[in-house]
C-alpha cells in the first residue's frame, strides 16, 4: 500500500508576483539546512512545528490572560508591563521556550491567535485543492505554482509528488531552492520543474561557511549541472554590504553565470533590507544577529550593469 507523503507546510500564499513569472501561488515548506543570518523567514528554518506569538494580536493579560493557565509545564508567566502599538500600557505573557515541548495547548487556549503553531502536516490532496482554485489566475497571467521554503527539496518525497500533480494538472512549476541538496534529489524533480529559483548567496566557499554555516561547492555544482542538463535557472543574489556586494565578488558571479548563460533566464538582485526583523520576535527565542545597512542604490545599479555587460538579464528586486 502506498502511503501518501505529508508535507510540513508553514504557509500557502496566493497572488505572489515575486516568486517567478506571472501570478503565482507559493507553497512554503518548513525546514532549511542553511542559517543565513539575514533570513527574512526565520520561522521556516526549523523542520518541526513550533510555537509563535504575534504581539499585535495579543489582547494583553488584563483583558484576556487565557494562556497563563494553559501550559502544563508552567512555561507561561506574566511579562513586564510595556506599551502596545498605540501607546497604551499593557502586560504581555512571557514564554520560557527552554521548557516548551511545542504541545500547542496555549495556542489552542488563545482565542485571538496571538499564540499559534507554525507548521502543519498537509497531504498532497489538501494542497492541490488549494492550488487548483488559483489555476484561472495562472492561466491568464503565465504564472503557476512555486514550491519554496525553507528548503523544499529537504522534503523530497512530498515536493516531488506535489510537482508531479501540478504538472498533471497543467500548472507551470517553479522550485525555489538554496541548492544545498544532493544532486540525486535535483535530478528527480528536474523533469517536473519548469524553472528553478536558485539562490547564489556567496561565491567564496570559506566565507559562505563562516557566515551561513555550509560551504558552497555543492550549491555551485548543482547549479552548473542544472544548466548543463537543460534546466532553467532564475538566479537570486541576496546582496549584502561587506559580504558579497563588491565589484570583485560580482566578477566571480559573472564568470560563473556566463558559463551557463543559456540556462539563466533571469538574475534577480535582492538588496538586503530589514523588513523581516520583526518576525524574529514571534519565535520567542531567537533574535536577529545581523543588522547590516542595505546597499546603496548606486552600488545595486553598478552591480546590475556589471552582470549585464556579460550578456546576462538582470533585475533589481
Contact between 71 and ligand SF4 (CB under 6 A)? Answer: yes
Residues between 96 and 135 that touch ligand SF4 (CB under 6 A): 100-106, 109-110, 112, 114-115
Contact between 69 and ligand SF4 (CB under 6 A)? Answer: no
Stretch that binds ligand SF4, among 64-72, 152-160, 233-241, 263-271 (CB under 6 A): 64-72
Q: β-strand 6-16 against 24-29: which pairing, if any? A: antiparallel
Q: Which is nearer to ligand SF4, 100 or 316 (CB)?
A: 100
Which residue matches cell numbers 549541472?
225
Cell reading at 61: 493579560
Q: What is the Cα–Cα distance from 253 to 250, expressed in whole angstroms?
A: 5
Among 27, 95, 211, 269, binds ligand SF4 (CB under 6 A): 95
Smallest gap from residue 104 Cβ to ligand SF4 (A):
5
Q: Which is nearer to ligand SF4, 79 or 213 (CB)?
A: 79
Among 29, 32, 70, 186, binds ligand SF4 (CB under 6 A): 70
Contact between 195 and ligand SF4 (CB under 6 A)? Answer: no
Which residue matches cell numbers 520560557?
96
Partners of 27 in the β-ladder = 12, 147
Q: Which is nearer to ligand SF4, 113 or 210 (CB)?
A: 113
Contact between 75 and ligand SF4 (CB under 6 A)? Answer: yes
Contact between 283 and ligand SF4 (CB under 6 A)? Answer: no
Smallest gap from residue 84 Cβ to ligand SF4 (A):
11
**Looking at beta carbons, which pairs linking 65-72 to residues 24 or more positions away fall under 8 Å?**
65/93, 66/109, 66/110, 66/111, 67/93, 67/106, 67/109, 67/110, 67/115, 68/93, 69/109, 70/105, 70/106, 70/108, 70/109, 70/110, 71/100, 71/105, 71/106, 72/103, 72/105
Smallest gap from residue 7 Cβ to ligand SF4 (A):
22
Smallest gap from residue 85 Cβ to ligand SF4 (A):
14
Q: What is the Cα–Cα distance from 15 to 10, expressed in whole angstroms?
A: 17
Task: From 223, 312, 199, 309, select the one nearest 266 (Cα to Cα).
Answer: 312
Amino acid at each position: 500500500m502506498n502511503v501518501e507523503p505529508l508535507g510540513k507546510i508553514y504557509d500557502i500564499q496566493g497572488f505572489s508576483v515575486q516568486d517567478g513569472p506571472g501570478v503565482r501561488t507559493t507553497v512554503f515548506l518548513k525546514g532549511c539546512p542553511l542559517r543565513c543570518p539575514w533570513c527574512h523567514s526565520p520561522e521556516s528554518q526549523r523542520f518541526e512545528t513550533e510555537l509563535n506569538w504575534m504581539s499585535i494580536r495579543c489582547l494583553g493579560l488584563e483583558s484576556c490572560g487565557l494562556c497563563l493557565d494553559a501550559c502544563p509545564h508552567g512555561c507561561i508567566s506574566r511579562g513586564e508591563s510595556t506599551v502596545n502599538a498605540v501607546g497604551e500600557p499593557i502586560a504581555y505573557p512571557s514564554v520560557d521556550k527552554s521548557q516548551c515541548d511545542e504541545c500547542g495547548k496555549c495556542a489552542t487556549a488563545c482565542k485571538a491567535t496571538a499564540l499559534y503553531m507554525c507548521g502543519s502536516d498537509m497531504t498532497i490532496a489538501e494542497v492541490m485543492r488549494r492550488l487548483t482554485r488559483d489555476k484561472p489566475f495562472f492561466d491568464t497571467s503565465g504564472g503557476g505554482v512555486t514550491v519554496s521554503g525553507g528548503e523544499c527539496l529537504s522534503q523530497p518525497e512530498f515536493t516531488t509528488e506535489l510537482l508531479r500533480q501540478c504538472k498533471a494538472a497543467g500548472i507551470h512549476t517553479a522550485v525555489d531552492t538554496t541548492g544545498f541538496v544532493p544532486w540525486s534529489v535535483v535530478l528527480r524533480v528536474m523533469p517536473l520543474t519548469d524553472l528553478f529559483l536558485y539562490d547564489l548567496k556567496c561565491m567564496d566557499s570559506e566565507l559562505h561557511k563562516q557566515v551561513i554555516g555550509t560551504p558552497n561547492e555543492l550549491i555551485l555544482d548543482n547549479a552548473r549541472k542544472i544548466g548543463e542538463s537543460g534546466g532553467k535557472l532564475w538566479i537570486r543574489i541576496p546582496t549584502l554590504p561587506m559580504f558579497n556586494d563588491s565589484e570583485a565578488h560580482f566578477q566571480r558571479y559573472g564568470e560563473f553565470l556566463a558559463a551557463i548563460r543559456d540556462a539563466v533566464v533571469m538574475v534577480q538582485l535582492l538588496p538586503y533590507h530589514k523588513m523581516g526583523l520583526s518576525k524574529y520576535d514571534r519565535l520567542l527565542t531567537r533574535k536577529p544577529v545581523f543588522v547590516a545597512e542595505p546597499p546603496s542604490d548606486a552600488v545595486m545599479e553598478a552591480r546590475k550593469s556589471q552582470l549585464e555587460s556579460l550578456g546576462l538579464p538582470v533585475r533589481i528586486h
